[in-house]
Chains A and B, each alone.
Chain A
Amino acid sequence: MPDPALRSGPGRVLVAVYAIFAVAATARSAVQLGTRFGDAPVAYLLSAVAAVVYVVATAALARGGRRLALAAVLIELTGVLVVGTASIVVPQEFPDATVWSFYGAGYGFVPLVLPPLGLLWLRRTARTASSR
């Protein structure tokens, strides 16, 4: 059931930041896949996954799709932790940066901070929704 509370108040800012990352990751991934896919296929496919996750998270939060938003944010959290670790352990697979490499250091670590904030926000709005 759509919950407009997700896009109100602090959620407004969350959607804005998610939207910026959705556009940035999608554009970056499109350029990477379109112009030099062979250079680093693993990194570029993960870039594309990150882009899809951000787009889904943005849309779900903005439209109030609580379950879809939760799924996207959980995948995002897993992604940034796994890819962040992998970019340190097997750097040869990541010759070019993705949004999630080095835990999003190239983006001021916002990709690492965003999923916990998303989870907190989903939990907080769930509480007010059930107490209404």
Chain B
Amino acid sequence: MIPVLPVVVAVVTTLAGGWALVLSVRDRPAGRQLLTLLGVLAVVEVALLVQTVAGLVALAGTDRPVHGVTFAGYLFGAVLVLPIGAWWAVTERSRWGPAVLAVACLTVPVLVLRLDQLWAGHA
């Protein structure tokens, strides 16, 4: 596991989720703000991919009491949420598109913080 990265990802996605909610409430389904938000999330996605690779490598080489299947499940889940959520969001042309994006964003901190817990040895 890469130290600090999960916390950074959790903070950025929480802020991004808040931003998406604001776009939804102000009824801005499309435009430059949404594109900027999607750009930020693309960077987050790269970080999540790096984390998944690093996590799988670390899992293979550790003798910690980590539940491997569960840990790998969370790693893959964390990588899939944003792309699938973004697709489901941009295919909705109303204020509910950004709302979907907010749901996807706010799922990421739950997953990465849970990953951190699992790595620390809490089942």
**B109 interfacial by beta-carbon distance below 8 Å:** no
**A31 interfacial by beta-carbon distance below 8 Å:** yes
18 residue pairs bridging A and B, Cβ less than 8 Å apart: A8-B94, A8-B96, A9-B92, A9-B96, A10-B99, A11-B96, A13-B96, A13-B103, A16-B100, A19-B84, A19-B88, A20-B103, A23-B77, A27-B73, A31-B67, A31-B69, A34-B69, A35-B69
**B17 interfacial by beta-carbon distance below 8 Å:** no
Interface residues on A, range: 10 to 19
CA distance A27 to B67 in the complex (A): 13
Identify which of B67, B70, B77, B104 contacts A16 (C-beta below 8 A).
B104
**B97 interfacial by beta-carbon distance below 8 Å:** yes
CA distance A31 to B74 in the complex (A): 12
Binding site for B on A (CB under 8 A): 8-13, 15-17, 19-20, 23-24, 27, 31, 34-35
Known: A8-B92, A20-B107, A23-B77. A13 touches B100 (CB 8 A): yes
Scan residues 25-80 of chain B and give those whose CB is less than 8 A from a CB of chain A.
67, 69-70, 73, 77
Task: Give the nearest-CB partner of A35 in chain B.
Answer: B69
Task: Give the nearest-CB partner of B91 in chain A.
Answer: A12
CA distance A19 to B77 in the complex (A): 12
Q: Count of chain B residues with Cβ under 8 Å from any Cβ of A?
A: 19
Scan residues 82-118 of chain B and give those whose CB is less than 8 A from a CB of chain A.
84-85, 88-89, 92, 94, 96-97, 99-100, 103-104, 107
Q: Are A12 and B77 in contact (CB under 8 A)?
A: no
Contact partners of A24 in chain B: CB under 8 A? 77
Q: Are B77 and A15 in contact (CB under 8 A)?
A: no
Q: Are A16 and B85 in contact (CB under 8 A)?
A: yes
Would you give the shortest CB distance from B50 to chain A, in whole angstroms?
Answer: 22
Known: A31-B69, A35-B69. A12 touches B104 (CB 8 A): no
Contact partners of A34 in chain B: CB under 8 A? 69
Contact partners of B104 in chain A: CB under 8 A? 16
Would you give the shortest CB distance from B111 to chain A, in whole angstroms?
Answer: 9
Q: Which of A23, A31, A35 has the most CB of B within 10 A?
A: A23
